[in-house]
């Protein structure tokens, strides 16, 4: 048993995070020489989109009784210039600037940004909410609020892995993992990384560290934890900073899941900690998990059991491209394909990590082709279902690291490791649509729209010869 003297690292709590956050206001923008404000959103294909307003116009917009701007209902059905099945060019939604997200775009001088929340343009009836169930940010906000009502708060930190390519889409370096050679003083890679980190810190995003990763031209930036909605928003700002600052130096940054067959891929691992507020306003539907076989709390054990049960069913949201399934394979340090957990085991899909009393879960089956709001909605949503139901933790961690090769089938059954990730995107969509818990968390209307868009996106990305498809993937993500 570990003692309190074994504790290490920075101890984060939702209360401490909230206490250190500062709020930028529209009145501060002129002092930062801002002339334009972007209202941004991330669509179902994980393309960040925006509408840009001159500052004077944006101030006028905020003075309206209901600030916002109309956007066609095809906003959640558009793939390139094509409409997915079930989408239409008729009608409008309303996107409202969430002023709590106002941030200076230090990667784009003279610009600031706010994230948008989608609403219905009109209430279907006087008692109805204006909230749009199809809005990814709205979905994650709902999950966060429901968890808080049950006495649970989350902190989420995202690792951002990416590859820097030159003008011919060749990696800028072949030096190994964490080597100083990959970030040599004065090199373009070092310059880009330093500018990105500076831009993020100036925008109020905590950067814990950055380093060279293992694949050619690959790097990683590790962000500090935030509450779920803020963490997902910060991911988008981080990616925009990386894209734009790399481009300023004549490089292309790509978050594509795997572009080299003989090297590891790029992920977006999510580090998730649970915090019991002790003051639920609504009770769990069942008694909490009382299995004391691990150092985890009852809430953590229930969350983990449900997460491991449902990770294969939410893969369509966390790994939403065909390329995602080339990254997550057995024996490649990607978490493997069996749905299991393990303490400090990087060959499990969920790694229990951190020091005693302040550990957290690293969910490894996520990459940067996923919309972070949708991915976190799915992960936190299915995990919370385990808390509501008071699930017991029955899946045990394997004694040997890599499950597929080191743990025989008979032992996997004894450990409760019976579920496996889908091996294709089509299988992932089929699994998600069959799972009642996924439908409960995500909503039937969202599922139908998302699956239609995802299918069309996958078809578009994979058109033509493999080399052409890979180039399209790199240029899209």
What is the Cα–Cα distance from 322 to 327, expressed in whole angstroms?
10
| pLDDT digit string, tens, across residues 129-145 | 899 999 999 999 999 99
In the chain, what is the greatest distance between 2 CA atoms, to the nearest angstrom? 68
Indicate whether 316 pLDDT > 70: yes
What's the token pair of residue 172? Answer: 């800028």
Indicate whether 21 pLDDT > 70: no
What is the Cα–Cα distance from 467 to 26, expressed in whole angstroms?
46
| pLDDT digit string, tens, across residues 321-349 | 999 999 988 877 777 889 999 998 888 89
**pLDDT recorded at residue 404:** 83
Give the lowest-confidence range in 191-205, 273-287, 318-332, 354-368. 273-287
Kindly state the average pLDDT of the residues 84-96: 89
Pairwise pLDDT comparison (122 vs 376), residue with the higher score: 376
**pLDDT recorded at residue 221:** 97
**pLDDT recorded at residue 16:** 80
Indicate whether 36 pLDDT > 80: yes
What's the token pair of residue 104? Answer: 């200076």
Give the lowest-confidence range in 152-156, 206-210, 402-406, 407-411. 402-406
What contacts 191, CB < 8 A, 6 or more positions away?
249
**pLDDT recorded at residue 43:** 95
The percent of residues above 70 in pLDDT, for the chain, comes to 94
**pLDDT recorded at residue 285:** 54
Short-list 229, 178, 5, 132, CA closest to 445: 132
What is the Cα–Cα distance from 288 to 240, expressed in whole angstroms?
41
What's the token pair of residue 241? Answer: 């900073």
Pairwise pLDDT comparison (121 vs 235), residue with the higher score: 235
Q: What pLDDT band is residue 291 in, cutting at 50, 70 and 90?
A: very low
CA dihedral 143, 144, 145, 149 (to 10 degrees): 100
**pLDDT recorded at residue 1:** 42
Instruction: Report the mean per-residue pLDDT for the chain.
Output: 91
3-state secondary structure the chain: CCCHHHCCCCCCCHHHHHHHCCCCCHHHCHHHCCCEEEEEEECCCCCEEEEEEEHHHHHHHHCCCCCCEEEEHHHHCEECCEECCCCCCCCEEEEEEEEEEEEECCCCCCEEEEEEEEEECCCCCCCCCCECCCCHHHHHHHHHHHHHHCCEEEEEEEEEEEEEECCCCCECCCCCCCCHHHHCCCCHHHHHHHHHHHHHHHCCCCEEEEEECCCCCEEEEEECCECHHHHHHHHHHHHHHHHHHHHHCCCEEECCCCCCCCCCCCCCCEEEEEEECCCCCCCCCCCCCCCCCCCCCHHHHHHHHHHHHHHHHHHHHHCCCCCHHHHCCCCCCCCCCECCEEECCCCCCEEEECCCCCCEEEECCCCCCCCHHHHHHHHHHHHHHHHHHCCCCCCCCCCCCCHHHHCCHHHHHHHCCCCECCCCHHHHHHHHHHCHHHHHHHCHHHHHHHHHHHHHHHHHHCCCCHHHHHHHHHHHC
**pLDDT recorded at residue 59:** 97
Query: Can you name the CATH fold of 150-476?
Result: Creatine Kinase; Chain A, domain 2 (3.30.590)
Give the lowest-confidence range in 134-138, 182-186, 279-283. 279-283
Short-list 340, 315, 314, 338, CA closest to 325: 315
**pLDDT recorded at residue 78:** 81
Q: What pLDDT band is residue 294 in, cutting at 50, 70 and 90?
A: low
Most confident range (mean pLDDT) of 78-92, 124-138, 237-251, 290-304 is 237-251
CATH class (in words) of the domain with range 24-132? alpha beta
| Sequence ranges of the domains in the chain | 24-132, 150-476
3-state secondary structure 207-263: EEEEEECCCCCEEEEEECCECHHHHHHHHHHHHHHHHHHHHHCCCEEECCCCCCCCC
Give the lowest-confidence range in 7-16, 175-184, 452-461. 7-16
**pLDDT recorded at residue 292:** 44
pTM for this predicted structure? 0.94
The percent of residues above 90 in pLDDT, for the chain, comes to 74
What's the token pair of residue 144? Answer: 């966060």
Pairwise pLDDT comparison (281 vs 426), residue with the higher score: 426
């Amino acid at each position: 048993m570990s003692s309190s003297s074994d504790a290490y690292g920075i101890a984060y709590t939702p209360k401490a995070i909230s206490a250190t956050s500062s709020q930028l206001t529209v009145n501060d923008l002129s002092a930062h020489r801002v002339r334009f404000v972007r209202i941004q959103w991330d669509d179902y294909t994980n393309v960040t989109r925006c509408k840009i307003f001159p500052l004077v116009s944006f101030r006028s917009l905020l003075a309206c009784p209901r600030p916002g701007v109309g956007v066609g209902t095809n906003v959640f059905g558009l793939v390139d210039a094509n409409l997915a099945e079930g989408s239409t060019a008729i009608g409008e939604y309303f996107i409202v600037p969430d002023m709590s997200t106002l941030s200076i775009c230090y990667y784009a001088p003279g610009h600031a940004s706010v994230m948008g929340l989608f609403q219905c343009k009109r209430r279907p009836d006087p008692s109805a909410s204006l909230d749009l169930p199809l809005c990814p940010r709205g979905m994650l906000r709902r999950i966060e609020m429901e968890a808080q009502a049950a006495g649970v708060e989350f902190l989420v930190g995202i690792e951002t892995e990416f590859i820097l390519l030159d003008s011919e889409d060749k990696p800028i370096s072949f030096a190994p993992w964490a080597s100083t050679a990959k970030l040599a003083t004065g090199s373009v890679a070092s310059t880009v990384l330093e500018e990105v980190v500076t831009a993020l810190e100036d925008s109020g995003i905590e950067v814990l560290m950055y380093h060279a990763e293992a694949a050619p031209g690959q790097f990683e930036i590790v962000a500090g934890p935030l509450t779920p909605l803020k963490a997902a928003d910060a991911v988008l700002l981080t990616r925009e900073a990386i894209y734009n600052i790399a481009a300023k130096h004549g490089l292309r940054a790509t978050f594509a899941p795997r572009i080299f067959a003989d090297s590891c891929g790029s992920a977006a691992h999510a580090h998730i900690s649970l915090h019991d507020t002790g003051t639920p306003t609504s009770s769990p539907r069942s008694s909490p998990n009382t299995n004391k076989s691990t150092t985890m709390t009852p809430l953590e054990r229930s969350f983990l059991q449900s997460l491991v049960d449902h990770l294969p069913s939410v893969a369509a949201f966390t790994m939403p491209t065909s390329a995602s399934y080339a990254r997550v394979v057995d024996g490649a340090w990607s978490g493997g394909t069996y749905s299991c957990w393990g303490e400090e085991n990087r060959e499990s899909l969920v790694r229990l990590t951190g020091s005693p009393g302040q550990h957290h879960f690293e969910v490894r089956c996520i990459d940067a082709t996923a919309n972070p709001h949708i991915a976190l909605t799915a992960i936190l949503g299915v995990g919370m279902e385990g808390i509501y139901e008071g699930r017991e933790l029955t899946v045990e961690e394997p004694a040997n690291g890599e499950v597929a090769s080191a743990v025989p089938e008979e032992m996997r059954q004894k450990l409760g490791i019976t579920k496996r990730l889908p091996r294709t995107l089509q299988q992932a969509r089929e699994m998600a649509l069959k799972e009642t818990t996924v439908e409960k968390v995500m909503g039937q209307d969202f599922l139908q729209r998302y699956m239609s868009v995802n299918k069309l996106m996958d078809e578009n990305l994979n058109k033509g010869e493999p080399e052409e498809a890979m180039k399209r993937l790199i240029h899209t993500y």
